[in-house]
Amino acid sequence: MEVELVEPATEARAFIDFVNLTDNLEHPAPEDFPAIGSILDAVVLDFMPNGELRLATRSSS
C-alpha cells in the first residue's frame, strides 16, 4: 500500500473522536480532552469521487 501525504483541497470542519484514540479499556474523562480551541495535529481523510483515498496531516486552525 502506498500512502501520500497531501494538503486537502478544501477546508472541512471536523471533530476528533478521542474515545477511539486511547489504548485504555476505559473511556477518557473530560480532563483528558484538550481544551476547546487547542491547536492539534490531525490526519484528514478525503475520499475522492473516483474512490481514491487521500490522507493529509496538518495542524488545526
Residue 16: closest CA among 53, 48, 47, 45:
45
The total domain count for the chain is: 1
0.85 exceeded by the pTM? Answer: no
pLDDT tens figures, 1-35:
566 666 655 665 555 555 555 566 777 677 877 77
Is residue 50, in this structure, part of any structural domain at all? Answer: yes
Q: List the beta strands (DSSP E) in 1-61.
A: 41-47, 53-59
Is residue 52, in this structure, part of any structural domain at all? Answer: yes
Residue 44: closest CA among 20, 21, 60, 23:
60
Is residue 46, in this structure, part of any structural domain at all? Answer: yes
- As a whole number of angstroms, the distance between CA 27 and CA 46 comes to 27
Is residue 59, in this structure, part of any structural domain at all? Answer: yes
Range of the domain at 52: 1-9+39-61
pLDDT tens figures, 36-53:
777 766 666 666 677 666
- As a whole number of angstroms, the distance between CA 25 and CA 9 comes to 36
